[in-house]
Amino acid sequence: MRAAPLAPNLSPINSLARRRAAQTLGCDAEELVAEKLTASGYTILARRLRTGAGEIDLIAANAQRLLFIEVKARPSLSAAAYAVSARQQARLLAAASVVLAAHPEWAREETRFDVALVAGGVVDVIRDAIRYS
């Protein structure tokens, strides 16, 4: 007996291709956000920084402010805005605590958690989008 072929959208090849496309889209979006931050006077301290608590897409700073930035790239800005779950927000806050403990020299007068929404080359930053409760 022969096994039925997988549906086209469930095949391992298509799944791998989708993951690679999503990774490329995410990297491109992070690069676009990093360029905008640099143009605004920020220094990029880290990209895709992995901790035991989670990954932080971008960490940037200027003399007064430290930014932890979650980048979401989607076909539309509204779809990107809905992509940041409560669970993901909690992981970002936990990861930021780990990073600050490991890099006390990065501490600034102000620390902010922003979400950068990217769609079609447009970047919309939601400042102070995530807060400790």
Tell me, what CATH number does 110's domain have? 3.40.1350.10
Residue 1 counted as domain residue? no
Q: Partners of 23 in the beta sheet?
A: none
Q: Give tens-digit pLDDT for 56-89.
A: 999 999 999 999 999 998 888 888 877 788 888 8
Domain-embedded: residue 131:
no
Query: Using 50, 70 and 90 to split pLDDT, how confident is the model at 18?
Result: confident
Give the model confidence (pLDDT) of 102-131 as tens digits: 999 999 999 999 999 999 889 999 999 887
pLDDT at 92 over 70: yes
Query: Which of 84, 89, 81 is closest to 130 using CA atoms?
Result: 89
Inside any domain, residue 132: no
Residue 97 domain boundaries = 8-126
Q: Is residue 62 part of a domain?
A: yes
Task: Examine residue 63 and state whether it is found in any structural domain, yes or no.
Answer: yes
In a domain, 2, yes or no: no
Instruction: Please report whether residue 37 resides in a domain.
Output: yes
Domain for residue 36, yes or no? Answer: yes
For the entire predicted model, the pTM comes to: 0.82
Number of domains in the chain: 1
- Of 3-7, 22-26, 107-111, the one with minimum mean pLDDT is 3-7
